[in-house]
Structure 1
Amino acid sequence: MEPDSLPTEVILTHPRQSLGKVQLDWTPQPGNYLDFQGKTYAVLERRHRYQFKSGRYRLHNIAIYVQSAQRPAEKSLLNGRWVVGDATCVYNAHSEIVRCAVNPQGPCQDCRYYEKV
């Protein structure tokens, strides 16, 4: 195993099942998107699994819990992170996963509920 490569198990949340394992050279965070076996998934949760070896705990692998998703076409940079939709709207959730309460499917452009912050 390469030192910068993380052994990662990809687990579908509903129905709960393991989709397989993959070596990643980046750390998946909730809100990121992952292309795996020809499909796109949104990362919902990340869990570290440790192993006790030679008197200390070492990161053994990572499990990410995902759901099937489409990459959002609209994204805004807000305080150094990407959020879904137009972050200048008062109804935007400022989330990597959810756009807003009034128009969660989007698009933000020409939305009748749009109100500038």
Structure 2
Amino acid sequence: MSHQPVRTRTAAFSRRRGRRVSALVLAAVAMTVPIAGCSIQDAICGGGEYPVLNVGSTGRACVPNGEEPPKGYVRFPEGKVPEHVGDEWDEYWQSHTVDKDGKTVTVPEEAPQESPKE
């Protein structure tokens, strides 16, 4: 009867394997988070909402689909609706607004404030 030595996994082997699996899991999570998170984090409004513009300023709000904008707010002009933070229309509406007559106008820059005199 010939006895062959039984091969057992050593603690070192198990640690190395555990580290490889952990590294693979972390890599997969790291690659998934930016893809999944981007569209949600960067959206101007959440699902089921649309953005509206404060008349005469660059202020904004989000309104549930199917509801009218609140008093003092209007819908963005068709084709000029910001959808994601930093997109073309988001940047545009940082310096433009709609006046009380519905005309798109440039928002005047605020006058520099003087420092208090002592």
TM-score by length of 1: 0.22
> Structure 2-normalised TM-score?
0.22
Greater fraction of residues in helix: 2
Larger radius of gyration: 2
Give the strand-richer structure, 1 or 2: 1
